[in-house]
Amino acid sequence: NAGVTQTPKFQVLKTGQSMTLQCAQDMNHNSMYWYRQDPGMGLRLIYYSASEGTTDKGEVPNGYNVSRLNKREFSLRLESAAPSQTSVYFCASSRTGTNPHEQFFGPGTRLTVL
């Protein structure tokens, strides 16, 4: 099992450009998440999906859109990138329902917006 995979690993964008970050998991998990990590801020939830076909906003959703393509895949789109979106982005997945709610993370995408 590959676990949670993310592409690309690194990306540099110019202000105003768009891009999609891809995430896939092979653990048959129902829930998937997108976080951003900034220095000294820990992990902040952007969007999450409790099941295929559903998505909900997290703590910092502005400037992002998501698509839960199927049970395996959850993508994050930046329509018009801004320098404030320079960050490391992590995708995670977990089972839904009663305990445990352990989330498993991908290796991250390091995004720089110039």
Give contact residues for another protein (rule: CB under 8 A).
4, 31, 33, 40-45, 48, 50, 58-60, 90, 92, 94, 96, 99-108
- CA–CA gap between residue 25 and residue 109 (Å, rounded): 15
Nearer to another protein among residue 15 and residue 101 (C-beta): 101
Nearer to another protein among residue 19 and residue 50 (C-beta): 50
Nearer to another protein among residue 59 and residue 79 (C-beta): 59
Q: What is the closest distance, in whole angstroms, from the C-beta atom of residue 68 to another protein in the complex?
A: 14
Residue listed under structure tokens 């220095």: 39
Nearer to another protein among residue 79 and residue 102 (C-beta): 102
Q: Does residue 63 contact residue 78 with C-beta atoms inside 8 Å?
A: yes
Q: What is the closest distance, in whole angstroms, from the C-beta atom of residue 62 to another protein in the complex?
A: 12
- CA–CA gap between residue 70 and residue 32 (Å, rounded): 11
Q: Does residue 112 contact residue 86 with C-beta atoms inside 8 Å?
A: yes
- Cα distances (Å, whole numbers) of residue 21 to 40, 67, 96, 99: 23, 10, 23, 29
Q: What is the closest distance, in whole angstroms, from the C-beta atom of residue 15 to another protein in the complex?
A: 25
Q: What is the closest distance, in whole angstroms, from the C-beta atom of residue 16 to another protein in the complex?
A: 27
